[in-house]
Amino acid sequence: MNVLLAGGAGYIGSHTAVELLNSGYNVIIADNYSNSDKKAIDRIEKITDKKVISYTADIIDKIVVSEIFKNNQIDVVIHFAGLKAVGESVKKPLIYYRNNIDTTITLLECMAEYGCKNIVFSSSATVYGEENDIPYVETMKKGTCSNPYGWTKSMMEQILSDASVADSELSVILLRYFNPIGAHESGLIGEDPKGIPNNLMPYISQVAVGRRDHLTIFGNDYPTKDGTCRRDYIHITDLAKGHVKAVEYAAKHKGPEIFNLGTGTPYSVLEIVNAFEKANNIKIKYEFDERRSGDLPEFWANSDKAQRVLDWTATRTLEDMCKDTWNWQKNNPNGYE
Ligand code: NAD
Ligand code: UDP
């Protein structure tokens, strides 16, 4: 079976490519490398000892994407191609709406043209918004997003669901990720943010490797046991394996389906810092600062549906996440550079 990974050279896409190839799927990656590096493709091939077909392509561009569909019999699309920096989305909303929504529409149009009936989409826990109780369950109504990035995810879910109403043959799998961290156990692929990291774990690992002086912890006065925010961190390999299950499921399913992919266990920012220090025997310098605008105090997943329907569950521990992050960062201090 041929799986097209739009945005597949990025953090989640590259790890998913490895798991798909190891499960016997053929992988085609199309990426414009706006937030990734072509070296990721070589590393995927090195880990798996398998070939990847790759295209430098802007997924917005219908002519370019049509060519990919024309030259390859695509059975399933996984749509990772998106801009994802929350703060940047507040400053440049139109760029976010244009990129994230147009990539989705182009993919759906090309799928319709070439008879591809299965799409798995990278959504986010952010679509639960500010109103819902925790843990988040797929049956909850979506909420009010606090930034344009979140709204693009919410809107793209709607566009994909509407497309599946119009075409009853279409299988649409919306994967709501919680907080992916860690790296492949080989240390050959991992998270390589361009510029200053927005997310917690890459920031910690860049402090550990000496690229940043200290971590700033955003807020220590939240109503949590140590005052810092709590999130549901999930090992990237567990998340990638969830995509393999979703691809299997998409191929035998019709209509829209939502799955949370998380562990169900939240950790605070301070717990993550302490776990990283303990797992890797490294001190992480940190300072407390003001709350970051838009952050919720805490949320985590109920992933019972993924376990029940996809036979998927996260198995890796927080220690695994911390050790694998450090294995990647210390072997690649400047990422793929
Ligand atoms: P990433 O930035 O590492 O990967 C996204 C990839 O898409 C990059 O390789 C980028 O170059 C590519 N891309 C972006 N726009 C493109 C376009 N127009 N044409 C072609 N390629 C394009 O991010 P990631 O962490 O791997 O996230 C993958 C997806 O999962 C994104 O849609 C993101 O919003 C979503 N997501 C990520 C997280 C997270 O914490 N990492 C959480 C929830 C959802
Ligand atoms: N965080 C932090 N310092 C940083 C980056 C993140 O204290 O440099 C905190 C952030 O406030 C949140 C948690 O770490 O409480 C996870 O943030 P991240 O951006 O990784 O993921 P989010 O849950 O916001 O998508």
Q: What is the pLDDT of residues 14-25, one digit of tens each?
A: 999 999 999 999
What does residue 43 show for φ and ψ, rounded to 5 degrees?
A: -65, -40
Closest CA to 185 of 309, 68, 327: 327
What is the number of the ligand 1 atom nearest to the C-alpha of 179?
40
CA of 232 to the centre of ligand 2 (A): 11
Report the pLDDT value the prediction gives residue 172, as an integer from 0 to 100. Answer: 98
Q: Please list, in sequence order, all residues whose beta carbon lies within 8 angstroms of the beta carbon of residue 263, skipping any fewer than 6 positions away.
A: 178, 232, 233, 234, 238, 300, 301, 303, 314
Of 99, 122, 126, best ligand 1 pocket probe by most atoms within 8 Å of the beta carbon: 122
pLDDT of residue 221: 98
80 Cα to the center of ligand 1, angstroms: 5
Q: Of all protein residues, whose CA lies closest to atom 43 belonging to ligand 1? A: 124
pLDDT for 45: 99
> What's the mean pLDDT when you consider all of the chain?
98
Cross-strand partners of 6: 30, 79
Residue 307, CA atoms < 13 Å, CB-side half-sphere: 11
Please tell me the predicted confidence (pLDDT) of residue 59.
98
226-252 pLDDT per residue, tens: 999 999 999 999 999 999 999 999 999
Task: Decide whether any atom of ligand 2 lies within 6 Å of the 27 Cβ.
Answer: no
Distance (Å, whole) CA 48 – CA 67: 27
pLDDT at 283: 98
In this structure, which long-range contacts are made by residues 62-71, counting pairs with CB atoms below 8 Å and at least 24 apart in sequence?
62/106, 62/109, 62/110, 65/30, 65/106, 65/107, 65/110, 66/110, 66/113, 66/114, 68/4, 68/28, 68/30, 68/110, 69/4, 69/110, 69/111, 69/113, 69/114, 69/116, 70/114
Q: Determine the straight-line distance between the first and last CA of the chain, rounded to whole angstroms.
A: 33
Pocket test for ligand 1, best of 16, 35, 67, 203 (most atoms within 8 A of CB): 35
Please give the average per-residue pLDDT across 110-124, as a whole number: 98
The whole-number average pLDDT for the span 60-83 is 98
Which whole number is the average pLDDT over 58-70?
98
The tokens describing 235, both together, are 């090992």
In this prediction, residue 262 carries a pLDDT of 98
**Which residue is closest in CA terms to ligand 2's atom 1?**
200
For the chain, percent of residues with pLDDT exceeding 70: 100
pLDDT digits (tens, 9 = 90+) for 142-189: 999 999 999 999 999 999 999 999 999 999 999 999 999 999 999 999
**Type and span of the H or E element at 206:** helix 200-208
| Residues with a CB atom less than 6 Å from ligand 1 | 7, 9-13, 31-36, 58-60, 80-84, 99, 103, 122, 124, 177, 179-180
**pTM for this predicted structure:** 0.99
Known catalytic membership, residue 33: no
What pLDDT, on a 0 to 100 scale, did the predictor assign at position 207? 98
CA 123/CA 117 separation, integer angstroms: 19
